[in-house]
């Protein structure tokens, strides 16, 4: 699957400044999940966390909800799915494991409890995949009667999930595939995979990051923060550990901007870059925001984020809106040259872009002198790199060598073709 960087409209981004505390089980265990994520697809949370809801007292920073009859593992699957739309529900990647079916049924029941149709559909797809797994002798296993009984006790009558389970039995002869010689009938790629539970993130460890001079709080999970940032990996190792579950570790980023850090927080969760302006007349401002994001990546020592922002620059310059293509303005160029190292490859991208288009009207007397000189040198050397070819390789990326060094390969690669049935 080809790597794609999306420069989506900013209104689609999540707000990570407000977290909801969800207590589950007889011995309460707390989950801290951004309110925006909970209310995006769940109608139950949309109502429970609305402005008139009892769970949200006036002035509350962290609303609280309790689900006494929901198991820890089930909400863990839901929290990870909200974050990545990946089902971390397959503990050992084996077939014939009834534990997998038990967990999917509990997740389906949770989907009905919180009224989240997207999650229910994801669980149904997970069930389909599980029922179509085959072992070495081409056998596939369906759940035993205790599990189907539990399903009928947990999922409302008339639910499509019930029909799916009935069809699982009605369309096959037990132990045999319908299509005995063909490929796997339904191949899941990156976003529709069931993945080992050990790879799931822990959503019970909350970090508060205070950003800017205003020290605006962002509430983000520790596993998410340390996924690719060497700064957070090091800082959180040295940061004090709270003795009480109600206490949260706090970090301060005084020199980061609110907009750029919110873009970073959204990218950490979705790998989408929300920098595209809705008003096309302000499209040049997107380059300024991208420049600030790149500088933030430098501050946080996050090479994946910097390389993603570089690709977002390329996507931006190749975007034509209402017949107009926008190039980085002198404000963006000044910010880049004032806040990046002289060896930063994003600078070389900027030079190659303007030298390749050979349009003097795009250069200004106010542009950074180092930039103008580099463009002149590139023109003398006969630079001819076209803006449409800049995404083809990793020339402007900061990552090192290695097959999986580039974020595109690690985060967006999927199987080249449907898997064959094992023989």
Q: What is the pLDDT of residues 171-180, one digit of tens each?
A: 544 333 233 3
Cα(256)–Cα(364) distance, integer angstroms = 28
Q: Is 410 left (phi over 0), alpha (psi -120 to 50) or beta?
A: alpha
Cα(52)–Cα(63) distance, integer angstroms = 12
217 in helix, strand or coil?
A: strand
pLDDT confidence of 421, banded at 50, 70, 90? very low
Where are the chain's structural domains? 89-199, 287-416
Using an 8 Å Cβ cutoff, are 80 and 201 in contact? Answer: yes
pLDDT confidence of 99, banded at 50, 70, 90? confident
Terminal alpha carbon distance of the chain: 26
pLDDT confidence of 278, banded at 50, 70, 90? low
Q: What is the mean pLDDT of residues 283-312?
A: 91
Cα(352)–Cα(348) distance, integer angstroms = 6
pLDDT tens digits, 145-201: 666 667 777 788 778 887 777 776 655 443 332 333 322 222 222 223 345 566 677
Tokens of residue 256, six digits = 């980061």
Cα(238)–Cα(175) distance, integer angstroms = 54
Give yes or no for residue 295 having a pLDDT over 90.
Answer: yes
What average pLDDT is seen over the chain?
Answer: 76
pLDDT, greater one: 411 or 382? 382
- Other CB atoms within a 10 A radius of the CB of residue 250 amount to 14
Q: What is the pLDDT of residue 230?
A: 94
pLDDT tens digits, 22-81: 888 777 788 888 888 888 899 999 888 876 655 555 555 678 888 888 888 888 889 888
Using an 8 Å Cβ cutoff, are 248 and 208 in contact? Answer: yes
pLDDT confidence of 18, banded at 50, 70, 90? confident
Q: Mean pLDDT: which of 74-88, 110-124, 315-329 is highest?
A: 110-124
Q: Mean pLDDT: which of 103-117, 167-181, 276-290, 297-311 is highest?
A: 297-311
Indicate the angle between helix axes 145-154 and 98-113, nearest 10 degrees: 10
Query: Which residue, 297, 205, 209, is CA-closest to 251?
Result: 209
Cα(309)–Cα(315) distance, integer angstroms = 10
Q: What is the mean pLDDT of residues 204-231?
A: 90
Q: What is the pLDDT of residue 285?
A: 81
Q: What is the mean pLDDT of residues 313-342?
A: 86
Q: What is the pLDDT of residue 5?
A: 44
Q: What is the pLDDT of residue 210?
A: 94
Percent of the chain predicted with pLDDT > 90: 26
194 in helix, strand or coil?
A: strand
Give yes or no for residue 407 having a pLDDT over 60.
Answer: yes
pLDDT, greater one: 114 or 169? 114
């Amino acid at each position: 699957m080809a790597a794609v960087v999306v420069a989506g409209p900013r209104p689609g981004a999540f707000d990570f400044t407000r977290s909801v505390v969800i207590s589950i089980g007889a011995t309460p265990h707390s989950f801290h999940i951004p309110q925006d994520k909970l209310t995006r697809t769940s109608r139950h949370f949309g109502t429970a966390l609305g402005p008139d809801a009892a769970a949200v007292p006036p002035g509350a920073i962290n609303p609280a909800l309790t689900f006494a009859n929901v198991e820890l593992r089930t909400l863990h699957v839901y929290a990870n799915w909200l974050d990545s739309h990946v089902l971390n529900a397959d503990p050992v990647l084996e077939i014939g494991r009834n534990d997998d079916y038990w967990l999917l049924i509990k997740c389906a029941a949770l989907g009905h409890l919180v009224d989240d149709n997207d999650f229910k559909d994801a669980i149904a797809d997970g069930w389909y995949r599980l029922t179509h797994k085959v072992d070495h002798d081409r056998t596939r296993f369906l759940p035993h009667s205790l599990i189907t009984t539990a399903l009928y006790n947990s999922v409302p009558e008339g639910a499509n999930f019930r029909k799916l389970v009935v069809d699982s039995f009605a369309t096959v002869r037990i132990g045999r595939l319908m299509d005995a010689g063909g490929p796997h009938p339904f191949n899941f790629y990156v976003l529709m995979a069931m993945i080992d539970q050990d790879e799931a993130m822990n959503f019970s460890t909350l970090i508060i990051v205070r950003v800017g001079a205003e020290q605006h709080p962002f509430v983000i999970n520790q596993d998410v923060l340390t996924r690719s940032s060497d700064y957070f990996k090091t800082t959180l190792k040295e940061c004090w550990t709270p003795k009480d579950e109600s206490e949260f570790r706090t970090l301060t980023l005084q020199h980061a901007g609110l907009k750029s850090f919110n873009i970073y927080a959204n990218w950490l969760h979705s790998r989408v870059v929300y920098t595209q302006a809705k008003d096309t007349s302000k499209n040049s401002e997107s380059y300024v925001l991208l420049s600030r994001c790149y500088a933030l990546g430098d501050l946080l020592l996050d090479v994946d984020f910097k390389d993603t922002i570089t690709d977002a620059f390329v996507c931006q310059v190749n975007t034509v809106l209402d017949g107009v293509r926008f190039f980085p303005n002198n404000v963006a160029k000044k910010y880049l040259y004032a806040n990046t190292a002289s060896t930063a490859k994003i600078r070389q991208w900027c030079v190659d872009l303007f030298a390749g288009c050979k349009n003097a009207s795009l250069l200004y007397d106010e542009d950074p002198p180092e930039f103008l000189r580099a463009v002149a040198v590139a023109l003398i050397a006969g630079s001819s790199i076209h803006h449409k070819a800049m995404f083809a390789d990793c020339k402007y990326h900061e990552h090192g060598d290695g097959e999986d060094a580039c974020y595109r390969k690690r985060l967006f690669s999927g199987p080249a073709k449907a898997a064959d049935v094992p023989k």
